[in-house]
Amino acid sequence: MITKLTDEFIPVYGPVKSWRYGRSLGIDPIGKISTCSFNCVYCQLGEIEQKISDRSVYVSTTEILLNLQKFAPWDVDIITLSGSGEPTLALNLKEILQETKKLTNKPILVLTNGTTLTNPEVKLALTLADRVSIKIDAVTSKQLQGINRPAEILNLSDIWENIKDFRDKYQGKLAIQTMILSPWNTQNKVEYINLVKYLKPDEIQLNTPTRPKPIKRQLDGRGNHTEYHPYAVQKLKCISPEKLQNFAEEIYKNTNIPVRYKQK
User: Pick from 13, 38, 58, 192: which binds ligand SF4 (CB under 6 A)?
Assistant: 38
**Alpha carbon 175 to chain centroid distance?**
10
The radius of gyration of the chain from alpha carbons, rounded to an integer in Å, stands at 18
What separation in angstroms does the CA of 127 have from each of 117, 131, 135, 165? Answer: 11, 9, 17, 12
Q: Which CB atom, from 119 or from 254, has the smaller least distance to ligand SF4? A: 119
User: Pick from 12, 25, 27, 40: which binds ligand SF4 (CB under 6 A)?
Assistant: 40
User: Pick from 18, 88, 113, 218: which binds ligand SF4 (CB under 6 A)?
Assistant: 113
**By CB under 6 A, residue 89 contacts ligand SF4:** no
- Judging by DSSP bridges, how do beta strands 108-112 and 131-135 pair with one another? parallel
Q: Please, are residues 122 and 101 in contact by the beta-carbon 8 Å criterion? A: no
**By CB under 6 A, residue 43 contacts ligand SF4:** yes
**By CB under 6 A, residue 208 contacts ligand SF4:** no
**By CB under 6 A, residue 166 contacts ligand SF4:** no
Minimum distance from residue 151 beta carbon to ligand SF4 (Å) = 10
Instruction: Quote helix, strand, coil % in the chain, to nearest 5.
Output: 35, 20, 45
Binding site for ligand SF4 (CB under 6 A): 36, 38-40, 43, 45, 48, 85-86, 113, 135
